[in-house]
Amino acid sequence: MRTSTGVHPDLAWSYSFPTASVQAIAGLVSFYNEKVDTYLDGQLLERPKTHFVN
C-alpha cells in the first residue's frame, strides 16, 4: 500500500512465537499477496480477494 507518508501498514506477517508445526518458517516474513504486486514469468498476477484485505 502506498501512502503519502511511505508507511505500508499490515503488508507482511510472521510468527512471533512459532509452534513446533511451523518451526521451518520461524524468523521469516511473508507478504500478503492480496496487498502487493506479484509477477510470475513477467506477468502481473491478479490479486486474490480474501478476508485479509480491508
pLDDT in tens, 8-34: 778 888 888 889 998 899 889 998 888
Distance, CA of 26 to CA of 22 (rounded, Å): 7
**Global pTM?**
0.60
Distance, CA of 38 to CA of 33 (rounded, Å): 7
Percent of the chain with pLDDT over 90: 28
Q: Count CB atoms within 10 A of the CB of residue 38.
A: 13
**Is the CB of residue 32 less than 8 Å from the CB of residue 52?**
yes
